[in-house]
Structure 1
């Protein structure tokens, strides 16, 4: 089991409240991603669950048992950090086995658990190497292996891929997702990268200034953002926001249209615009367009759509894909 419940949990440092009172339920076996901009409180919230920070108020329950005042070592949680924190003088085998040796496990048990973890993480051929002989992705897998052998109730990942290059990040993202399927263990993953959140999560928790803005599945947040903050944070490129007369025409203070929900034509359409910067990504092209009376708009088109800087284009938002928000930024 690996259910985690936060009831009225808050955190203050002196006079500064970094996490106002919040409630959150994480079900057994879920892959939950905390996402938000830098300083939004996502890592602090993870550290409260881990017991690395004391809560200022509220209760934390794991599998129905209150652990608010329980030391980290007794919460049966395993944490994987941005820093691999491997012992350079130990082999991969020694690093993975370390928490079991500290717990006084029998050698036969240690050998079996290390061997099983190595197979799951494709590290069997590297067990006798030192960390300096490994790539960044392999080192992160060793850190994850050290967590796996503890057989925790839940895994806590704090921006584990930040130190990796772009290609390795994609590979590790897939590997961690596959690992979740194999282990069927609760995982909480902190990132500021909304692409990681969208591709990995069963459930996303969007945080802003310590508050939970919205909780839901990736597609739920994409299709039905509750407010301007979530609408602007989820999706890449970000949603276009339009105010003024165009928004009033839809009975809203602001309307939002995603770049992929705008049809482009060189002959006719609802809004007339001039092409500025074009970002060619191969399969897709992102066009930054200055439109008359609407403002600057980003549109996503197929890579074969041929326009140049200064060309005139016409934009038409898709029916049923316009998001409306009131003056307080709440979805209508």
Structure 2
């Protein structure tokens, strides 16, 4: 079992509340992603769960048992950090086996667990290598292997892919997702990358200034954002926002339209917004157009790939009336 419950958890440094008040219920076996901008408190929240930081107030329960004041070693959680933190003088086998040796496990048990973990992570052929002879992705898998052999109730990942290049990030993202499907163990993953959050998570916790803005599945957050912050943070490219008289037409303080929810044309259409293309990013499968719209400012439009739009062209945009998001003066979503 690996359920984790937070009840009114608060963390303050002096008079500054980093985590003002958070309550969450994470079920056994779920893959949860904490996402938000830098400084929003996501790593601090993960460290509170791990026991690496003390709570100021509130309760943290693991499988229903109060572990708020328990030492990290007693929580049966394994943490994988941004830094691999491997011992350079040890082989891959030695690095993965290290926590088991520290726990005085029998040699035959250690050998079986290390080889089982290596098989799951495709490291069997690298067990005798030193970390300096591994790629970044392989080193990260070794760090994950060291966590796996402890057979924890939950894995905690603190931005584990941020040191990798773009291609390796994609590969490791898939590997960690597949690992979760194999192990069926609770995982909490911290990232500032909302694409990682959307592609990996069963549920996402969107954090802003230490507060939970919304907690739900990726598609729930995409389709029904609770407020303008979530609407702007979830989705890539980000949502376009319009205030003023245009928003008032929809009985809202502001409206939002995702880049993919526009019709674009070179000829004027009823209800269209006239604009001029600034930059056209032609990616093959998609084309992203950055359009300077009269009165509204810069807007991002996503259209089909291989479109022959160019800098300086005049275009007309029509938002899909059924996909317009409305927000009140407090930036909360209107139904």
TM-score, shorter chain, exceeding 0.5: yes
| Structure 1: runs of 5+ lacking an equivalent | none
1:24 aligned residue: 24
Q: Report if the CA contact (8 A) 1:260-1:301 is conserved.
A: yes
Deviation at 1:268, TM superposition (A): 2.9
Listed one character per residue, the Cα deviations across residues 79-119 of structure 1 (whole Å, up to 9, x for unaligned) are 00000000000000000000000001011110000000000
2:158 aligned residue: 158
2:193 aligned residue: 193
Q: Following the alignment from structure 2 to structure 1, what is the Cα–Cα distance between the partners of residues 313 and 200? A: 39
2:233 aligned residue: 233
Q: Establish whether residue 262 from structure 1 lines up as the match of residue 279 from structure 2.
A: no
Task: Tell me the secondary structure at the aligned position of residue 17 of structure 1.
Answer: strand
Q: Following the alignment from structure 2 to structure 1, what is the Cα–Cα distance between the partners of residues 293 and 65? A: 57
Task: Tell me the secondary structure at the aligned position of residue 260 of structure 1.
Answer: coil
Task: Tell me the secondary structure at the aligned position of residue 219 of structure 1.
Answer: helix
Listed one character per residue, the Cα deviations across residues 230-250 of structure 1 (whole Å, up to 9, x for unaligned) are 011111110000011110000
1:99 aligned residue: 99
2:171 aligned residue: 171
1:299 aligned residue: 301
1:329 aligned residue: 331
Q: Following the alignment from structure 1 to structure 2, what is the Cα–Cα distance between the partners of residues 135 and 294? A: 47
2:292 aligned residue: 290
The 5-angstrom pairing of residues 311-322 of structure 1 reads: 311-322=313-324
Q: CA RMSD in A?
A: 0.7
Q: Establish whether residue 108 from structure 1 lines up as the match of residue 73 from structure 2.
A: no
2:311 aligned residue: 309
Runs of 4+ in 1 over 3 A off after TM superposition: none
Worse-superposed segment, 228-237 or 265-274:
265-274
Q: Following the alignment from structure 2 to structure 1, what is the Cα–Cα distance between the partners of residues 295 and 103? A: 67
Q: TM-score, length-normalised on structure 2?
A: 0.98
Worse-superposed segment, 82-91 or 278-287:
278-287
Task: Tell me the secondary structure at the aligned position of residue 168 of structure 1.
Answer: helix
Task: Tell me the secondary structure at the aligned position of residue 259 of structure 1.
Answer: coil
Worse-superposed segment, 294-303 or 32-41:
294-303
Deviation at 1:294, TM superposition (A): 3.0
2:2 aligned residue: 2
Q: Following the alignment from structure 2 to structure 1, what is the Cα–Cα distance between the partners of residues 122 and 308? A: 44
Q: Report if the CA contact (8 A) 1:246-1:294 is conserved.
A: no
Q: Following the alignment from structure 1 to structure 2, what is the Cα–Cα distance between the partners of residues 290 and 14? A: 46
The 5-angstrom pairing of residues 29-44 of structure 1 reads: 29-44=29-44
Deviation at 1:22, TM superposition (A): 1.3
Q: Report if the CA contact (8 A) 1:5-1:61 is conserved.
A: yes
Q: Report if the CA contact (8 A) 1:227-1:330 is conserved.
A: yes
Q: Following the alignment from structure 2 to structure 1, what is the Cα–Cα distance between the partners of residues 295 and 68? A: 55
| Structure 2: runs of 5+ lacking an equivalent | none
Listed one character per residue, the Cα deviations across residues 28-81 of structure 1 (whole Å, up to 9, x for unaligned) are 000000000000000000000000000000000000000001000010000000
